[in-house]
Structure 1
Amino acid sequence: MDLSHLGTPIRPVVRVHGGFANRVYRLDTDQGSFAVKELNLLDRRWTYHLEDVFRFERAAFDAGIPMPEPIAAGDRTLVHRWVEGEAVPEAPVSAGYAFEIGEILARLHALEVPWPSGSTEDPASQDWSELAERAVATGQPWAEDLAARVDTFVAIADLVDTCERPGPVVLTHGDVQPWNLLAREGRPVVLDWELSGLLDLSGELGSTALSLAKGPGFDDLEPAVFRAVLDGYVAGGGALPPPGPSWFVLMIGGWLGHTRWNILRCLTGVEVGTGPDLALSHASVRNGVRGLPDLFGRLPELQAVLL
């Protein structure tokens, strides 16, 4: 993308490290500061609908949703105005912050924005045994852990494919997680909208509320924070879907796909020019291989405690 319309650079562009899927750079010009996201199109897990996402972002921004101003969208690049704020750690947020996130989701779901029909989830991959064999053969540092849990990963994939989604389907951000949020004066700012699309409401609410109510594991789970997201959603005009396992299947399915994608990147042993660094892919695999079975085993407990 030609970025000359953003002004004359006043310092060299700087990469901002830490992205799980794409790469972000900060561009400072005489017209302001911008976040330039280079999308990974080499081995992506999904098709980006950038024009549709940009239209949705503009509608959300114009409606007052706290987010960076969307500036431009190209074939492989997204540009937003840079927003200063504090990173949100992977730890239970305050109940007030969680309540505001719930209100934001309700406002998003009420927007009337055209979206292409036919957006569906792909079936979960069942090749976990083969992946484990390849990991052992290539000496991956997490290979033994994966090999010991193959049956569990197959069971997780089965759950993702067979769990009934009660609806309704909503157009939404789709990935409201701590790493896609900032805190500005203690209030939320929602980042990284490229995964926006149509989702079952229960999965959207469960994934968001659970991610904000826990730390890296599930031992410090705060049910009051989980409930605050739902209370905020109702206060913002939303209606809650019926309780059930579908509330958690979006998170577990997304984490499953992310883990598999990073396994494939690690198996090549090549530092790809886009997407996360190889070291970050290894870290993501280790987290998924250990964390996913824990989440899967706790699903009945989560339903009982949180819903």
Structure 2
Amino acid sequence: MDLSSLGAPLGPMRRVHGGYANRLFRLDTDHGSFAVKELNVLDRRHAYHVEDVFRFERAAFAAGIPMPEPVAAGHDTLVHRWVEGDKVPEEPVEPAYAYEVGKILAQLHTLDVAWPHDAAEEGTPRGWAELAERATETGQEWAGELSAQAGTFAAIADFVDTCERPGPVVLTHKDIQPWNLLARKGRPVVLDWELSGLLDLSGELGSTALSIAKGPGFDDIRPAVFHAVLDGYVAGGGELPPPGASWFVYMIGGWLGHVRWNISRCLAGVEAGSGPELALSQEVARGGVRGLPELWRRLPDLVALTRRG
């Protein structure tokens, strides 16, 4: 993408490390500061709908959703105004912050934006025993754990394929996690919209509420924070879907696919030209091999969170 319209650079673009899927740079010019995201279009699990996401972002920004201003979009590049704020650590947020996130979701789900794509989901990853064999052959440090849990991963895949989604389907962000949020004056700012699309409402609420109500694992889940998201959603005019396991199937299925993708990058054993570095893929693979079975074990307790009163 030609970035000359952003102004005269005050220095070279600077890499901002830590992205789990793409690569981010900061560009400072005489017109201001910009976040320039280089999208990984080489080995993504599914294609980005860049133009449609950009249109959705523009509508959300115009409606007052707290987010970086979308500036430009190209085939493999997204540009936003740089926003200063505090990073949100992977730990339970304050209930007031969670309440605001719920209100943002309610507002977002009211936007009248045409979306020319179905809510079709990618195929659920299978063949975990064979994947464990390849991990053993290539000497991956987590190969033994993956071998021991291959049956659990197969059961998780079955759940993702068979769990009923009650609807409604909404056009939404789909990836509100601590690493896609900032805190500015104690209030949320929503980043990283490139995964936006149609999603069953229960999956969006469950993924969002759980992600900001817990720490890195599942030993510190704050029900008050989880429910604050739902309270904010209702206060913003939203209607909650029926309780049940569907609230977590999107989160589980997304994590399953993300882990499988990073495992494949680890098995290749080379640095790819885009996307996360190999060391980060190793971290994601290791965390998923250990974390997904634990999430699966905790599912009944999580479902209980959706039954209020």
TM range (shorter): over 0.9
Q: Which residue of 1 aligns with 2:121?
A: 121
State the partner residue of 1:271: 271
What 5-or-longer segments of structure 1 have no aligned partner?
none
| 3-state SS in 2 of match to 1:213 | coil
Structure 2 residue identity aligned to 1:270: V
**2:76 is equivalent to residue 76 of structure 1:** yes
The separation in 2 between residues aligned to 1:12 and 1:125, in whole angstroms, is 40
* Structure 1 position 246, deviation (Å): 0.2
Quote the Cα distance in structure 2 between the aligned partners of 1:279 and 1:172. 31
> Which residue number in structure 1 is paired with residue 56 of structure 2?
56
SS in 2 for 1:296: helix
Matched residues in 1 for 2:42 and 2:12: separation? 26
Name the counterpart of 1:218. 218
Match of 1:173 in 2: 173
Inter-partner Cα distance in structure 1 for 2:221 and 2:154: 26
Residue 183 of structure 1, CA deviation: 0.4
Question: Structure 1: which amino acid aligns with 2:260?
Answer: R
1-structure distance, mates of 2:109, 2:302: 25
Normalized against structure 1, the TM-score is what? 0.99
Instruction: Report the secondary structure of 2:224's partner residue.
Output: helix
Match of 1:252 in 2: 252
CA distance in 2, matches of 1:198, 1:150: 30
CA RMSD of aligned residues (A): 0.7
CA contact (8 A) 1:90 1:216 kept: yes
Alignment of structure 1 residues 1-307 onto 2, 5 Å? 1-307=1-307
- Separation of aligned partners in 1, 2:305 and 2:79: 41
Deviates more, 1:112-121 or 1:16-25: 112-121
What do residues 56-77 of structure 1 show as CA deviations (whole Å, max 9, x unaligned)? 0000000000000000000000
How far apart in 2 are the matches of 1:276 and 1:32?
27
Deviation at 1:306, TM superposition (A): 4.3
Give distance in 1, aligned partners of 2:118 and 2:202: 19
For 1:132 and 1:57, how far apart are their aligned partners in 2?
Answer: 40
Separation in 2, partners of 1:270, 1:43: 13
CA distance in 2, matches of 1:118, 1:194: 16
Contact 2:68 2:191 in 1 (8 A): yes
Looking at structure 1, the residues matched to 117 and 173 of structure 2 have their Cα atoms a distance apart, in angstroms, of 17
Return the alpha-carbon distance in structure 2 between the equivalents of residues 267 and 121 of structure 1: 25
Q: Is the contact between residue 223 and residue 306 of structure 1 (CA under 8 Å) also seen in structure 2?
A: no
Deviation at 1:141, TM superposition (A): 1.1
Per the TM alignment, residue 17 of structure 1 is displaced from its structure 2 partner at its CA by 0.1
Equivalent pairs, count: 307
Partner Cα distance (1:118, 1:303) in 2: 27
Q: CA deviation at 1:236?
A: 0.2
Return the letter of the residue paired with 1:193.
Answer: W
CA distance in structure 1 between the aligned counterparts of 2:212 and 2:15, rounded to whole angstroms: 27
Hey, which bits of structure 1, 4+ residues long, moved more than 4 A?
none
SS of structure 1 residue aligned to 2:194: coil
Residue identity in the other structure for 1:124: T
Kept after mapping to 1: 8 A contact 2:243/2:306: no
Go from structure 1 to structure 2 and tell me whether the alpha carbon gap of 1:54 and 1:131 turns closer, same or farther (over 3 Å shift): same
AA at the equivalent of 1:229: V
Q: Secondary structure, in 3 states, of the residue corresponding to 1:275?
A: coil
- Deviation string 1:200-223 (CA, Å, 9 cap, x unpaired) is 000000000000100011111100
- Identity over aligned residues, as a percent? 73
CA distance in 1, matches of 2:255, 2:74: 28
Secondary structure (helix, strand or coil) at the match of 1:84 reads coil
Q: How far does residue 125 in structure 1 lie from its aligned partner after superposition? A: 1.5
TM-score when normalising by structure 2: 0.98
CA distance 1:216–1:298, change in 2 (3 Å) = same
